[in-house]
Amino acid sequence: MYNRARNQKAETSYRGYQRNNAGPLNYQTKVRITDRYKVIGFISSGTYGRVYKATGRQGQTGEFAIKKFKPDKEGEAVVNYTGISQSAVREMALCSELRNHANVIRLIEIILEDKCIFMVFEYAEHDLLQIIHHHTQTPRHPIAPGTIKSIMYQLLQGVQYLHTNWVLHRDLKPANIMVTSSGEVKIGDLGLARIFKQPMHSLYMGDKVVVTIWYRAPELLLGSKHYTTAIDLWAVGCIFAELLSLRPIFKGEEAKMDSKKTVPFQKHQMQKIVDVMGLPTRDRWPLLASMPEYNQLSTLQPPLLSTPSHSNSSHHPYGSHRSQQQQQASAHQNPHGNLQKWYHQTTVSTPLTSLGAEGYRLLASLLEYDPEKRLTAADALVHPFFTSPTSTPLSSLNPNGSVSSHHPSQSQQGGSGAAAVNWSPTNCFEGLKNESYPCRRVSQDDNDIGFGTSNGNNNSGSRVNTAAAGTGTGLVMGQSQSQVAALGGSLGVGGGVGGQTQQMGGQGGMGGQGGMGQMGGGGGMAVAGMKRMQDAVGGQQQNPNKRMKGAQGQG
Amino acid sequence: MAANYWESTQRKHWLFTKDELAAMRAKLEAEDPNLVASFPLPQLRHLNIYFNQRSSPTHFDSSLEINRIGKRLTLRQQALATAQVYIKRFYTKVEIRRTNPHHVLVTAVYLACKMEECPQHIRVLANEARTFWPTDFQSQTEVARIGECEFYLISEMNSHLIVHSPYRTLTSLQGELGLAQEDVNLAWSVINDHYMTDLPLLYPPHVIALTAILLALVLRQDHSGRLPGTAASNSGLAAASAALAQAQAAQARAAMMAGGGQMVPGLPQQSSSSGLQAMLPPQSPAGEAPAEGTKNPRMAKVHRFAAWLSDSNIDIEAMVDCTQELISFYECHEQYNDKITREQINRFVKARGLDK
């Protein structure tokens, strides 16, 4: 680790044009990226630019990932320069604030040089996409239970840190979760992250589509505009499932935006969720009917196994014909549809059985339909999955998957296989003996981190990925697209930081009426009021019943 | 905004004492004394008024119209507020006579809009800017100027772009303090005004918000007076100071009591809040505030606020200083001369070729 940076603020340095004396701006040359860092390879690329691996030239210890934001879209001339993209601004600003947690990737410094932005991060050797991929290689074998537990714990710690700092990540997915060679999990890629504290307008207005589709929460799929931290926890649930089964649990296909730029209902993705989780009901999710796309639910197929009563019914539980009987019938169904079955099949006869019923319950609480009932990061961290020294066998769950009255010690006595999983809250590789994860592949094709506009020297493998990543302009790149690209071409080349999602309007342009003219001025000066004021008031006091302690943090 | 204030870059890197600020500015001027001598500038607060007015030109939108926009207004004011903080931070690092202040101003607004999630297209802003300063923003180069200046701003600010504003504290305390909409509106405009002072570089946002609330309550005490600025300021200062002194005394006594209670085990244990209750005049417990309020509801509100403050651990001395700064700003505002300010800025911009 770059020890100086640990305790000091990240510096941002600008190297601008050296102008002649006649020039209006006298920017100082401060730091050149190539003076400070030696690029040792190219990692990945996305719509924002490229990521390189580097080492320090000036005594910095360790390795670094340098994210280079391109000044313009490929091929466009500098003439069309439109300023720094909003996602780059967000990432720079947020990473500068959020530098105090082991489970969020640490920003070392930002270097501004000509029209390029270089964000220097601590380097992480692995990411979850790569780790999952490794386990699918022959022979396919599950990730060790202790590793999964540690990854989940560290991931939730990082998410909790973001949320207590009023930041939504909005794009959690395996490719964005880094893991260092010492087993520390680090949330990366804050390019889509946003501040949510008392948003002045609906978060929806800024970026119409967020979160890569496989990890997108049901409330987003149903068109909710006021979403919350719960969307990140749904994604965490999806990641948990993927760590268990090595496949995305809800692998839907993204419906593309039509020519009118309206956001389509992601029917296929929602169907994938329903197949496992059952259809959401108003009993379990009271605000369900107020979701903008609520009526679309009637176009979905109920899952086969968990809803036998519906399979030969012409009525559908959604829509205007919904009957009281059916409502009651659905309430009696297994509230989690096929999830318990999914979990059982995934963990049975593997070391993962040791994660026990607690693992299932954590998963079910993260994949809770109702965002208000979904587990928060703080609650998840004290879930028995992490706190209980032993786990209870899955058979202790009662048939509908709800909380069992079974006591762990009872089941132990029952002899049906209570187990303890050894895991470390800070190192997900602790205790691993027979597993060696491959290092991130670093390509030598493009070591030219140089700035400027033409990247004529990128070719072959890296180029393929750029092309794939570039097609999603204007809307969120389907994970189906980017992740496939990552697995095919780029995971080869890293994949970790690639597969970037681009949000609408990200390039600084919400088309704009107004401009600077409209801002501010409201209320005008208080001088007038000041003038009206006359006599001083004696400061008699009244009974205090409020305390400031809580209010101080509200700056 | 993002991240909590206590861990923020704003608190760690962008709050200064008055002496520190003065030293930083003196250092900048000392770098090129001739430059400073050749181009005299109005006092800083007048420059700030100039920036403030230019970023919200009145001929574009009357403030009445802005108020009608409602929700969008708050968003935009937040961005404008952030932009003004950017300008202040930038000019603690860079001598103003080395820059084109109009480029810096427009760029700060452009960047703040992105940061506050109400992005404006660079070209829209550039066009806007050109209508105000045709010579500073020529159509071929203006976008490039803003783009370049954006890097400069971000760099000097060390990428610390997240600014915590007092508006949020104000709205979140509205209910707790029982503020009427008029109180909030007035406090809001006091906050607007504080961006023309050094206060955003000196005190945390919640201290500023509470000062604004106090001033708003005190200002609305009496609607009949039409005194000249100075007299008004004096009485306002007196009123605000009295309330603050009361709160401070109560705070200190509560602290003493709490301390004493620990040191002398024989004494009956009292919470700090019950200790304060004992000190208060018997006729004004909180529950009876409305009854007393019929006489002078405004007065009751000030008292209630002072009591609330005294039970907080707010830095009341900081509030005293904020109050004085604001009052003195309102006095200094009387002497603001827009024409002179504009001419002095244009003089060095032209003479040094900064408008190219």
Spell out which residues of chain A touch residue B173, defining contact as CB-CB under 8 Å.
551, 554
What's the pLDDT score for residue A495? 34
d(CA A494, CA A483): 11
**Chain B: residue whose CA lies nearest to A546:** B308
d(CA A277, CA A302): 10
In a domain, A539, yes or no: no
Q: Which domain holds residue B250?
A: 168-334
Spell out which residues of chain B touch residue A31, defining contact as CB-CB under 8 Å.
none
Same domain, B121 and B231: no
Q: Mean of the pLDDT values across residues A206-222?
A: 76
d(CA B192, CA B330): 12
- Indicate the pLDDT class of residue A483, thresholds 50, 70 and 90: very low
Residues 6+ apart with CB under 8 A from A70: A48, A49, A50, A116, A455
- pLDDT tens-place string over residues B267-279: 333 333 333 333 3
In a domain, A276, yes or no: yes
In a domain, B235, yes or no: yes
Choosing from B130, B163, B196, the residue where a domain stops is B163
- pLDDT tens-place string over residues A333-351: 555 668 999 999 999 888 9
- pLDDT tens-place string over residues B32-68: 888 888 888 888 888 887 777 766 543 333 333 333 3
Spell out which residues of chain A touch residue B311, defining contact as CB-CB under 8 Å.
544-548
B155, B188, B227: which to substitute to probe chain A, counting the most A Cβ within 10 Å?
B155
Same domain, A155 and A200: yes
Q: Mean of the pLDDT values across residues A21-29?
A: 41
In a domain, B352, yes or no: no
d(CA B177, CA B192): 20
Same domain, B270 and B222: yes
In a domain, B45, yes or no: yes
**Chain B: residue whose CA lies nearest to A22:** B353
The strand pair at A107-113 and A194-195 is best described as: unpaired
d(CA B122, CA B10): 26
Query: Among candidates B173, B249, B7, which has minimal Cα distance to A540?
Result: B249
Instruction: Give Cα A244 to chain centroid, integer Å.
Output: 18
Please state the domain count of chain A: 2
Residues 6+ apart with CB under 8 A from B327: A530, B233, B236, B237, B240
**pLDDT over 90, % of chain A:** 40
Choosing from B163, B190, B209, the residue where a domain stops is B163
Same domain, B29 and B148: yes
Same domain, B148 and B206: no
Q: Which domain holds residue A189?
A: 127-414
* Residue A27 pLDDT exceeds 50: no
Q: Which residue has the tokens 């979403």?
A: A227
Phi/psi-derived region of residue B7, left when phi > 0, alpha when psi is between -120 and 50, beta in every other case: alpha
d(CA A96, CA A108): 9
ipTM greater than cut 0.85: no
User: What is the length of chain B?
Assistant: 356
Please state the domain count of chain B: 2
Is the Cβ of A542 closer than 8 Å to some Cβ of chain B?
Answer: yes
Q: Which residue has the tokens 């109009």?
A: B102
Least confident of A478-487, B168-177, B228-237, B296-305: A478-487
What's the pLDDT score for residue B340? 84
B120, B177, B221: which to substitute to probe chain A, counting the most A Cβ within 10 Å?
B120
Mean of all residue pLDDT scores within chain A: 71
Q: What is the CATH number of the domain that holds A334?
A: 1.10.510.10
* Residue A547 pLDDT exceeds 90: no
Contact A96, A80 (CB under 8 A): no
- Indicate the pLDDT class of residue A267, thresholds 50, 70 and 90: very high
What's the pLDDT score for residue B226? 33
Contact A146, A135 (CB under 8 A): no
d(CA A272, CA A267): 9
In a domain, B353, yes or no: no
Q: Mean of the pLDDT values across residues A366-378?
A: 96
What's the pLDDT score for residue A288? 95
**pLDDT over 70, % of chain A:** 60
Tokens of A375: 């587990």
| Angle made by CA atoms B13, B14, B20, in degrees to the nearest 5 | 100
- pLDDT tens-place string over residues A485-496: 333 333 333 333
In a domain, B96, yes or no: yes
Same domain, B194 and B327: yes
What's the pLDDT score for residue A298? 92
What's the pLDDT score for residue A72? 57
Contact A523, B189 (CB under 8 A): yes
Q: Report CB contact under 8 Å: B117, A532.
A: no
Q: Report CB contact under 8 Å: A523, B63.
A: yes
Same domain, B142 and B289: no
d(CA B136, CA B356): 7
Same domain, A41 and A135: no
What's the pLDDT score for residue A99? 86
Q: What is the CATH number of the domain that holds A98?
A: 3.30.200.20
Task: Pick B228 or A103 by higher pLDDT.
Answer: A103
Contact B169, B210 (CB under 8 A): yes
Distance from CA of B138 to the nearest CA of A (A): 13
Residues 6+ apart with CB under 8 A from A97: A165, B2, B3, B7, B8, B9, B160, B162
User: Quick one: DSSP state of residue B287?
Assistant: G
The strand pair at A185-187 and A63-69 is best described as: unpaired
Q: Report CB contact under 8 Å: A10, B159.
A: yes
**Chain A: residue whose CA lies nearest to B246:** A539
d(CA A368, CA A91): 29
Instruction: Give Cα B327 to chain centroid, integer Å.
Output: 12
Same domain, B20 and B124: yes
In a domain, B348, yes or no: no
Instruction: Give Cα A219 to chain centroid, integer Å.
Output: 16
Least confident of A376-385, A544-553, B108-117, B250-259: A544-553
Q: Report CB contact under 8 Å: A535, B222.
A: yes
Task: Pick A156 or A535 by higher pLDDT.
Answer: A156
Same domain, B211 and B151: no
Same domain, A339 and A354: yes
Range list of H helices, chain B: 9-13, 18-30, 33-38, 44-55, 63-69, 71-93, 101-115, 122-132, 142-156, 166-173, 181-194, 199-202, 205-219, 229-263, 272-279, 289-293, 297-310, 316-334, 338-351
Same domain, A281 and A358: yes
Phi/psi-derived region of residue A515, left when phi > 0, alpha when psi is between -120 and 50, beta in every other case: left
HSE (side-chain half, CA atoms, 13 Å) at A78: 13
* Residue A275 pLDDT exceeds 60: yes
- Indicate the pLDDT class of residue B228, thresholds 50, 70 and 90: very low
Same domain, A312 and A357: yes
Longest dimension (CA), chain B: 81
Same domain, A146 and A107: no
Same domain, B152 and B251: no
What's the pLDDT score for residue A478? 32
CB pairs under 8 A between A and B: 407
* Residue B72 pLDDT exceeds 50: no
- Indicate the pLDDT class of residue A80, thresholds 50, 70 and 90: low
Q: Report CB contact under 8 Å: A548, B300.
A: no
Task: Pick A466 or A380 by higher pLDDT.
Answer: A380
In a domain, A157, yes or no: yes
Instruction: Please pick, among A72, A127, A171, A448, the residue that the annotation labels catalytic.
Output: A171
Least confident of A67-81, A175-189, A455-469, B13-27: A455-469
* Residue B257 pLDDT exceeds 50: yes
Same domain, B209 and B328: yes
* Residue A123 pLDDT exceeds 80: yes
Same domain, A293 and A251: yes
In a domain, B148, yes or no: yes
Contact A192, A162 (CB under 8 A): no
- Indicate the pLDDT class of residue B237, thresholds 50, 70 and 90: low
* Residue B241 pLDDT exceeds 80: no
- Indicate the pLDDT class of residue B146, thresholds 50, 70 and 90: confident
- pTM assigned to the model: 0.74
What's the pLDDT score for residue B233? 52
d(CA B49, CA B58): 13
In a domain, A184, yes or no: yes
* Residue A320 pLDDT exceeds 70: no
What's the pLDDT score for residue A44? 87
What's the pLDDT score for residue B288? 39
Q: Report CB contact under 8 Å: B7, A110.
A: no
Would residue A446 show up in a list of annotated catalytic residues for this protein? no
SS3 for A413?
Answer: helix
Cα R_g (chain B), whole angstroms: 23
Same domain, A357 and A336: yes
Q: Mean of the pLDDT values across residues B173-183?
A: 88
Same domain, A187 and A213: yes
Q: Which residue has the tokens 């340098």?
A: A66
In a domain, A78, yes or no: yes
Q: Report CB contact under 8 Å: B236, A96.
A: no
Sign of the dihedral defined by the CA atoms of residues A378, B116, B64, B68, in that order: negative
What's the pLDDT score for residue A202? 46
In a domain, A347, yes or no: yes
Same domain, B256 and B125: no
Question: How far is the CA of A253 from the CAs of A240, A259, A497, in angstroms?
Answer: 20, 18, 22
What's the pLDDT score for residue A314? 41
Q: Mean of the pLDDT values across residues A531-539?
A: 34
- Indicate the pLDDT class of residue A417, thresholds 50, 70 and 90: low
Spell out which residues of chain B touch residue A517, defining contact as CB-CB under 8 Å.
56-57, 60-61, 128
Same domain, A61 and A201: no
Longest dimension (CA), chain A: 87
Choosing from B125, B140, B163, the residue where a domain stops is B163
In a domain, A545, yes or no: no
In a domain, A516, yes or no: no
What's the pLDDT score for residue A245? 96
In a domain, B296, yes or no: yes
CA dihedral B130, B132, B133, B134 (to 10 degrees): 50
Q: What is the CATH number of the domain that holds B94?
A: 1.10.472.10
Same domain, A118 and A44: yes
d(CA A135, CA A495): 16
SS3 for A129?
Answer: helix
What's the pLDDT score for residue A166? 84
Same domain, B149 and B187: no
d(CA A346, CA A148): 14
Same domain, A248 and A394: yes
